[in-house]
Amino acid sequence: MATGVATDSNRLAYTGGVLAPAAQARTARRWGWLLYAEYRLTSMRAYLQTIVIRSIGLPLLYLASMGLGLGALVDSGAGGVDGVSYLVFVAPGLLVSSIVMEATGEFTYPVMSGFKWQKHFFAAAASPVRPGQIAVGEVVAVGLRFLIETVVFWLALLLFGAVTAATSWLVILIAPLAALAFGAPLLAFAATQTDEGAQFAFIQRFVVMPMFLFAGTFFPLGAMPWYLQWIGWISPMWHGTQLARVVCFGMPNPVWLSVLHLVVLLVTAVAGTWFAVRIFTRRLTR
């Protein structure tokens, strides 16, 4: 490799080895979102250990405690739910809810950091990548990570015998979609925030926790009084969980309702991303 002396005699400004600026710009115009997503995935390497431990440990933990431990209690009480054992009933809910909750971690503080603390959004915006592409890249990178985690979780479900239908592999798409249906609007919201206050802690306590507890993960919405059931209807987590139950153990559900779940998730994810693109563009070009 170049020694100090050799480098000094080299030209630094133009080595001639670089892609022509026009070609850089063409690549960035088309693939900027992917280039940014690539960076985002690279930066996840820093906490790869945590991700791996969590994505393998969490399903095992949930299934062993909620599935088996709590399941024994419920099965001896109510004799299962929706005609299946509690383990089979709760497993899709645990999968979807834990992936959705991951979205909270990725789309709150890191977003504030990108704009305010570490400012890596501004660094990226000074390259040929455009602001809107940064927002899309965030969604793509985090979605990809969710996809991989969902596969691991799904394998754990197979291991525990917690799925009974052949269509269960479809959760691999459903869970990340549900996570983005919650995460993309959250990304847009986080991008509007300029002050580090308690807003994210509030979201955790008053949006995410209630969604986890009341939106059909551990018991059907019908087990709650009617005046609390709206919590499920407005939660991406519930729509995702219901869809996951249909594909995992063939939970009886009218076709129109399953389609509605899917439409709600798609519309929310796309609309959230659209808002995020607008807000990123506004904030990075002001």
Partner 1 sequence: MSVIQARSLVKSYGDLNAVDGIDFDVAAGESFGLLGPNGAGKSTTMRMIGGTSLRTSGTLSVLGMDPETHGPEVRANLGVIPQQDNLDTELRVRDNLITYGRYFGLPRSYLQRRADDLLEFAQLTDKAGEKVDNLSGGMKRRLTIARGLINEPRILLLDEPTTGLDPQARHILWDRLFRLKEEGVTLVVTTHFMDEAEQLCDRLVVMDRGRIVAEGSPAQLIRQYCTREVLEVRFGSERNAAVVQQLGDVAERLEVLPDRILLYTDDGEAALERVTSLGLQPLTSLVRRSSLEDVFLRLTGRSLID
Partner 2 sequence: MTVLSGLYAGNVRAVLERGFKVIGTQNWAILVSGFFEPVFYLLAMGFGLGGLVGQVTGPNGTPMTYVAFIAPALLATSAMNGAIYDSTWNVFFKMRFGRLYEAMLSTSLGPLDVAAGEIAMALFRGLLYACGFLGVMAVLGIATSWWALAMVPVALLIALGFAAVGMAVTSWFTSFQQMELINIVLLPMFMFSSTLFPIDVYPQAVQWFIQALPLWHGVELMRQLSIGAFGPMTAVHLAYFGVMSVLGVAFCTVRLRALFLR
Which chain residues interact with partner 2 by CB under 8 A?
Answer: 46-47, 49-50, 53-54, 57, 61-62, 64-66, 68-70, 72-74, 77-78, 81, 86, 197-198, 201-202, 205-206, 209-210, 213-214, 218-219, 223-224
Q: Which of 125, 50, 61, 97 is nearest to 219 (CA)?
A: 97
Q: Contacts with partner 1 in 63-122 (CB under 8 A)?
A: 118-120, 122
CB of 70 or CB of 144, closer to partner 2: 70
The 3-state secondary structure of 137-148, one letter per residue: HHHHHHHHHHHH
Return the number of the residue (149 or 269) whose C-beta is nearest partner 2. 149
Residues 123-162 that bind partner 1 (CB under 8 A): 123-130
- Residue 46 or residue 126: which is nearer to partner 2 going by CB? 46
Count of residues touching partner 1 (by CB under 8 A):
46
Distance between CA atoms of residues 53 and 46, nearest Å: 13
* Cα 64 from Cα 87, distance rounded (Å): 9
Q: Does 48 bind partner 1 (CB under 8 A)?
A: no
Listing DSSP states for 119-173 in one string gives: -HHHHHHTSSS-HHHHHHHHHHHHHHHHHHHHHHHHHHHHHTT---SGGGGGHHH
Q: Is 27 in the site for partner 1 (CB under 8 A)?
A: yes
Cβ closest to partner 2, residue 47 vs residue 233: 47
- Taking CB within 5 to 8 Å according to partner kind, which of partner 1, partner 2, none is near residue 52? none
Local structure of residue 118 (DSSP, 8 states):
S
Nearest distance, CB of residue 70 and partner 1, angstroms:
37
Total number of residues shown for the chain = 286
- b/e code 177-192 from CB counts within 10 Å (16+ = b): bbbbbbbbbbbbbbbe
Q: Contact 178/96 with Cβ under 8 angstroms? A: yes
Residues that bind partner 1 (CB under 8 A): 1-2, 4, 7, 10-15, 17-19, 21-25, 27-29, 31-32, 35-36, 38-39, 42-43, 46-47, 118-120, 122-130, 284-286
